[in-house]
Amino acid sequence: MWMHRRVTAQPYGQRELARKLAMQPTPLDVAPPGLAARAEAARAWWRRERPLNAMLFVSLVAILGGIALARALDFRPAQHQGLWRGGLAHAFEAHYDQAFPLKQLGVNLWAAIDYQLFGEGLPGVVVGKDGWLYTDEEFKLDNDSPALVDRHLALVGWVGRALTQRHVALLVAVVPAKARVYPEHLGRRRPPELRQALYARALDALQAEGVATVALLEPLSAGKREQPTFLRTDTHWTPYGARVAAQAVAMRARGLVEGGRAFHSQPDGSRTYRGDLFNFLPLDPWFASLLPPPDRLTPWRTMDSDHAGSLLGDAPAAQVALVGTSYSAEAQWNFAGALEQAMHADVLNYAKDGEGPFAPMLAYLDSDDFRTSPPKLVVWEVPERYLPLPQAALAAYHLPPGVSTGRVATSAAVRGPQAREGGSFSHVTSQP
């Protein structure tokens, strides 16, 4: 019996001790001084102001809804948009989507989060450091890129052989990627291995094909010590970079054309310039202050010193034809004018914007200008970044089988007459 009481008394003591300990406040139960009072005050304010908050929320929704409704009332459907086939509904949806007042804010907010937190923009731009932007075309590759490089270089070699048969010299100015000239402003993203070795590989391959080239990497890299040779927020070179490139081309072209013409260039004012890569950072207008500062651009204009007011390319039989991309086509870079001044010869510009470097060359070879008045020299401006990328514009041309340029060009070739191997320009015909 004594043993039983002793045994049963022990659990009771433990329970009593636990009960007393539970009554003591623990550090977690003790609120910091003033915290409980502030919390209670906040709850009281919320209960007191709840009707006001609800009214403000309802008013905001009503205002936004009223603005959206007012803009929706501006919808004017076209006569051909029917109700039963869904055309009217799609047109109204597109109109309302554009008129909705919060759409722009949402787009800008999401873009600002991507840009500030992750250093990214829309597909098309690679965000670097120090306010530098790069086109993602200098970083892109796909499974066909190695073959596309070989085919594009083979096409350049074929053009060179065909021009030689017509006693026309070819000089290929290979424009290095902006990321290659300004690697110090790249962020964490780097070009893939194939692109890192691409410039030297292209020069070696073209020289093996017997094509005369101008390596612009060294002069553009050296020139940036004096002035920027590429724009910070754009894919293109600066007018200064274009002049540096033109001087390098002129040195390589000595003996190929007869100089003697006098040209002079002058600046055409300085202005703020929003580069084309801003299009992939839609932060404006709500978060425009987060964007990099725009570039300063000073365009140059070249004129014939012997004939005042005569602009470049006015001569009826120019010795030099320039073919290429927007690096040559856009007047604000003045690459063609810089070539005229550096070579002391007239230059006719056949470059095109938005078609890559290859389709403009094939279009020129198929033109009446070339057939009736071939030049002594063709300067072909070819940015290296296009070499590993598919060129959809080539689908319009029948190419010799040896220089078929990927799936697009091959599919185009089977739709028309089969081209023969060789260098005749009759092999390059546009699709009807």
305 counts as catalytic: no
pTM over 0.85: no
Give 353 or 421, the one with higher predicted confidence.
353
**Is 135 within 8 Å of 126 (Cβ atoms)?**
yes
The Cα–Cα gap between 398 and 420 comes to: 10
Q: Tens digit of pLDDT for each residue in 53-100?
A: 677 667 766 766 676 666 666 655 665 555 555 566 666 566 656 656
Mean pLDDT computed over every residue of the chain: 81
Q: Is 70 exceeded by the pLDDT of residue 430?
A: no
The Cα–Cα gap between 241 and 258 comes to: 25
Q: Tens digit of pLDDT for each residue in 291-340?
A: 999 999 999 999 988 765 445 444 446 899 999 999 999 999 999 999 99
Q: Is 70 exceeded by the pLDDT of residue 121?
A: yes
Q: How many CA atoms lie within 13 Å of 45's alpha carbon, on the beta-carbon side?
A: 6
**Is 402 within 8 Å of 423 (Cβ atoms)?**
no
- Which pLDDT score, from 0 to 100, does residue 102 have? 64
Sheet holding 377-383, edge to edge: 212-215, 169-175, 377-383, 320-323, 347-349
**Is 128 within 8 Å of 186 (Cβ atoms)?**
yes
Beta pairing partners, 134: 126
Give 388 or 405, the one with higher predicted confidence.
388
- Which pLDDT score, from 0 to 100, does residue 388 have? 97
Mean pLDDT of 228-253: 98
The Cα–Cα gap between 357 and 361 comes to: 7
- Which pLDDT score, from 0 to 100, does residue 9 have? 44
Q: Tens digit of pLDDT for each residue in 1-33?
A: 344 444 444 454 455 545 544 555 444 444 455
Q: Domain ranges for the chain, please list them.
A: 143-272+296-430
Mean pLDDT of 166-170: 96
Could you list the beta-strand ranges (E) of 99-147.
125-127, 133-135
In the DSSP assignment, the letter for residue 382 is: E
Give 97 or 117, the one with higher predicted confidence.
117
Instruction: Give just the sign of the alpha carbon dihedral 11, 16, 17, 18.
Output: positive
Owner of token pair 């799609």: 90
Q: Tens digit of pLDDT for each residue in 260-277?
A: 889 999 999 999 999 999
H helices present in 315-367, as ranges: 326-329, 335-343, 358-365
* CA distances, 174 to each of 274, 374, 383 (Å): 26, 23, 6
Which of 140, 155, 157 shows the shortest CA–CA distance to 207?
A: 157
234 counts as catalytic: yes
Q: Does residue 402 sit in helix, strand or coil?
A: helix
- Which pLDDT score, from 0 to 100, does residue 111 have? 87
Q: Is 80 exceeded by the pLDDT of residue 242?
A: yes
326 counts as catalytic: yes
Mean pLDDT of 144-152: 94
Catalytic residue among 326, 346, 398, 427: 326
User: Which phi and psi angles does 194 have, rounded to 5°?
Assistant: -60, -40
Q: How many CA atoms lie within 13 Å of 29's alpha carbon, on the beta-carbon side?
A: 5
User: Which phi and psi angles does 276 have, rounded to 5°?
Assistant: -65, -20
Q: Tens digit of pLDDT for each residue in 201-228?
A: 999 999 999 999 999 999 999 999 999 9
**Is 385 within 8 Å of 137 (Cβ atoms)?**
yes
Catalytic residue among 145, 152, 234, 346: 234
Catalytic residue among 152, 236, 398, 427: 236
Mean pLDDT of 330-353: 97
**Is 409 within 8 Å of 395 (Cβ atoms)?**
yes
In the DSSP assignment, the letter for residue 215 is: E
In the DSSP assignment, the letter for residue 137 is: G
- Which pLDDT score, from 0 to 100, does residue 27 have? 45
